[in-house]
Chains A and B, each alone.
Chain A
Amino acid sequence: MALGDVLDPSAAIANDIEGPGPDAGLLAGKTIGIRLDEIWRAWDWITELWATEFRAAGATVIFWRSSQGRTGTEGERIAAELEDFLGKIDIAVVGLANCGSCTGWTIRDALEAANAELPTTAVCTENFTELAQALSRRGGRSGLRLHVLPYPLNECERDYVDAVAREHLPGMLQTMGAALNVALDEAV
């Protein structure tokens, strides 16, 4: 046996931003944009409940529903819609990373929001956390805010999902660096 040199077959990694980006802060008076998708009804239910709380705190909430069709003319339409959506909001909540490719698109859209200097939080389910983190890191933002929901979720009944939404609201606000009112703002 002989020692020798072999050439590394792997490729370089992009530069990284380790910080989470700006806090969402006090929600009153701000427009929160929530990205939905066509697949996960559980994410619709969760964001419906969260939106009620955000509105009660004085925020405006708008929704944008993405699709998995990110290619061809459908892809061009979705890209234009995303750009328009990001232009209308102050805070981005992007989900749901609950499958392989949709984790990819969730993180891509979240990175786009974060790169537009918006306070941005991506939301994934537990089993896709590692992928979401890897994609954030490889996308140049290892510090991207990521809130983790339990898995499985979409397979569960509405009552359970609503309970998850209520239980996770404080943690979600913490991840966002957000507060529903002044007192909480001080706490954050």
Chain B
Amino acid sequence: MSIVIAPRQAGQTANKETPNLRDCGPEGCDIDWLSSQRHATEVDDIVAFTQYALDQGWGDGLPLVPPTEARVRQFLSKNNRYADELICRLPPLDGEATVEKIAINAVMAGAEPAALPVIIAALEAMAIEDFELFGQNTTTAPVYPVTVVNGAVRDRLDIPYKHGCLGGHATRAAAIGRAIRLVMRNIAGQVPNVTSQTTFGSPGRVGGVVFGEWEERSPWAPLAERRGVAGDAVTVFGAMGTMNILDTTSQGGLEFVEMIGKSLGYPGANGFSPAMPFAEMLVAVNPIWAEIIHRDIPSLEDVQELLWRHSSLDADYLTPQHRGQLDAQGRVIDDRVYLATQPKDIYVLVAGGTGGLHATGFHSFGSCLTQTVAVLPGPELD
């Protein structure tokens, strides 16, 4: 990054007393740490700026906050990160996601400065090669990364994990998902019919899906902790969307698990496609069912094994041509085909309201491996 001496505004004083020299805050500074190109446009009129952003190819169609230098500096000044720090490169365009670029998109989305560590952690996780973001961002499928948040950061940012956690709960944290989606558009370069070939897309590609696990009501260890990261962490999962599972009949844990498992298995799921060598599955269970399931099936591994078996299909239920391709790949075992390669690839967590009655299934894109990364805030600032 080239360092440019920025012209000082009339009446503005040098910010010499600022203890944090990484950025000089919203009031301006002696050294211009920001390298992004400046564009002159309307900055007080949200409607005019939103149209301008659309014309520039930056927008998603919803209102955007103009990322003025003052707003971006203010955002950065609340976080102790260098603006030019490269967090990751994001496919398909391999755009460089620097702290500055992430902050600009987060400002546009309306995110709070305190949300930056979660946004960065999620992007770091998505950039891990085994997450296969390249395929997710170019495919005909509607896939988008779902971000599950664990740890105390859920409450600090009001990330929803109870009623309406997948959409509907009013919170500033909704902007976290949108910030990630703007990064996908503006930095990764995921644009429908240009790079992304998505046939239908998904609402999750606009607002993103970021929710927490209701750890306090879960009989199991937090998802991230089970995956080796305790405390504040994000887990990203390449989801094809959300599938609701209603059960007003079952009473015991075995019945609930059977109902969930059987609901997950349908021929058009990516996990059964010859095009995908493997797939994972994420299941969000409401806290009422989770308690009953745990009472009747104490081991989570046993729950996963049962879900895995119940979500498998009789191979003859598929069309002969479909079965033939899976046969050729060695994926028909005792005349059954499986949604996930192994039971451990079916992840279970607790979330949702206390009304119970529903579970949510997230089928994976396949060929993408779920990733978990710690949320690491910078040092505390005043």
Q: Measuring CB to CB, which residues of chain A are less than 8 angstroms from any residue of chain B?
A: 1-14, 38-39, 67-72, 74-75, 99-105, 108, 127-128, 130-131, 134-135, 138-139
Contact = CB atoms under 8 A, between A and B. Distances in A.
Contacts of B91: 104
A104 B182 contact: no
Given A72-B369, A102-B275, A139-B94, 13 more contacts: A5-B40, A5-B68, A7-B67, A8-B36, A9-B58, A9-B108, A10-B101, A71-B369, A100-B135, A100-B140, A101-B138, A130-B193, A135-B138
A9 B194 contact: no
Contact of B135 (A1, A9, A104): A104
A99 B278 CA distance: 18
Most buried by B among A7, A99, A102, A127: A7
A102 B139 CA distance: 8
Nearest to B277: A69
B138 A103 contact: yes
A4 to B, nearest CB: 4
A128 to B, nearest CB: 7
Contacts of B195: 131, 134-135, 138
B40 A134 contact: no
A46 B197 CA distance: 24
Nearest to A41: B325
Among B57, B138, B274, residue most surrounded by chain A Cβ atoms (within 10 Å): B138
Nearest to A5: B38
B367 A103 contact: no
B45 interface: yes
B275 A8 contact: no
Nearest to B365: A101
25 contacts: A2-B44, A3-B42, A4-B68, A5-B40, A6-B67, A7-B68, A7-B72, A7-B100, A7-B104, A8-B104, A9-B58, A10-B58, A10-B95, A11-B189, A68-B275, A69-B276, A71-B129, A71-B367, A74-B277, A74-B278, A100-B197, A101-B135, A104-B138, A131-B195, A138-B93
A71 B132 contact: yes
B134 A4 contact: no
Interface in B351-372: 366-369
A100 B43 contact: no
Interface of A is mostly: mixed
A138 B44 contact: no
A12 B325 CA distance: 41
A11 B97 contact: yes
Interface in B259-298: 274-278
A142 B255 CA distance: 56
Given A5-B38, A135-B195, A70 B367 contact: yes
Nearest to A14: B94
Contacts of B108: 9
A95 to B, nearest CB: 15
B130 interface: yes
B41 A6 contact: yes
B92 A6 contact: no
A38 B326 CA distance: 10
Contact of B197 (A8, A71, A103): A103
